[in-house]
Structure 1
Amino acid sequence: MLIKIIPLYLNQENKGVKEVGYFNDYLNTIEQPDHRKKMEAIFNWVDTTFPELDKVIKWNQPMYTHHDTYIIGFSKAKAHISVNPEAAGMKPFIQRFEADGYTYTENLFRIKWTDEVDYLLLKEIIEFNLQDKAETTTFWRNYK
C-alpha cells in the first residue's frame, strides 16, 4: 500500500488543518475532465471574488471559512456539485434555487454537472453568510 504524505500546517489558533495543495488534490479525484474544470472554475472564482476567505479541509470537504467560522463548502457527487451554505444560508435563496432549477435540501443545493453555475447567486450567498456570521465565534452558527 502506498501512503501519500501531504504537508499540512495549522491555522493560527490551531483549531483546524489547512493544506496548501489539498484543493488541487481534491480536484484530481474528479475523473471527468469537464467536471474537474467546472469545480476548479468555482474554486478560482471564490478565491478571486473573496480573497479574504481561508481554504480549509474538514470532513474531507473543501470549504471556505472566515475568522474560523464556516462560510460555504463544496463537494462532488456523481451527478452534481453539492454546495452547502448551512441551513440559515439557504433559507433566503430558496426561490432562486427553484428558478435556477437547482434541487436542494435544508442544508445544501445541487448544481448538476450539466447546469450553468449562477455565480451571482453564489456571491449573494457568500455575502449573506459573511454578514450574518460577522460576530459568530463558533464554526457553525446556532440555527433551529
Structure 2
Amino acid sequence: MNEFDAYLAKLEEIQRPRMTEVLQWVHKEFPELSTKIAWNQPMFTEHDTFIIGFSASKKHMSVSPEVAGITHFAPKIEAAGYDHTKNIMRIPWEVDVNYDLLREMIQFNQLEKADYTAFWRK
C-alpha cells in the first residue's frame, strides 16, 4: 500500500481519511490483489488485470468496477443511495461506505476476469 502514500498526501482533509480507510479495507479484505497508481488513481489488480479503482473529487469518492460492474450492480448501487454513471459509482464524502456492496463488486470482477489476460474488458 506504500505506493498510495503520495496520492493520499495530495488529498484534502475531508477526502484523505475516507480514501485511506477504503483503500486499507480493500487491501486487508483482498490481500491477493496488487496495488498500483495508474491514470493518477489508486487501483487494485489481479494477474495484471484491472479489478477496481478509486479516485477523489471535490464532493465524492468515485469507485470504478468498469462498465460491466456498474451495469451488473446498478440496482444495488441505487438501493444504497449512490449516484452512478456507466463508468463510476459516486459515494459522497459525508455518506457511509457500503462495504458489502464493494466486496460484491470486487468478487464479481475477480470471478468474471479470472481468465482475462488484458488489463481492461474488451
* Cα deviations by residue, 1:112-141 (Å, 9 ceiling, x for unpaired): 001100000000000000000000010001
> What letter is aligned with 1:116?
D
- Largest Rg, 1 or 2: 1
Identity among equivalent positions (%) equals: 48
Q: Which runs of 4+ in 1 moved over 6 A?
A: none
Q: Match for residue 9 of structure 2? A: 28
Classify the secondary structure of the residue corresponding to 1:106.
coil
Report how far residue 21 of structure 1 moved.
Answer: 2.8
Task: Please identify which structure carries the higher helix content.
Answer: 2
Cα distance in 1, alignment partners of residues 3 and 11 from structure 2? 13
Q: 1:43-82 CA distances to partner (integer Å, 9 max, x unpaired)? A: 1100000000000111111100000000000000000000
Which residue of the other structure, out of 11, 20, 31, is the alignment partner of 1:40?
A: 20
**For the residues of structure 2 that align with 1:88 and 1:113, how far apart are their CA atoms?**
24
- Secondary structure at the aligned position of 2:86 is classed as coil
- Give aligned pairs, total: 122
User: CA separation in 2, counterparts of 1:31 and 1:115?
Assistant: 17
Query: Partners of 1:54 and 1:83 in 2: how far apart?
Result: 17
SS in 1 for 2:120: coil
**Cα distance in structure 1, aligned partners of 2:41 and 2:15:** 16
Q: 1:21, 1:121 → 2: CA distance?
A: 25
Tell me the distance in 1 between the aligned counterparts of 2:2 and 2:28.
Answer: 17
Residue 102 (structure 2) aligned to one of 106, 122, 125: 122
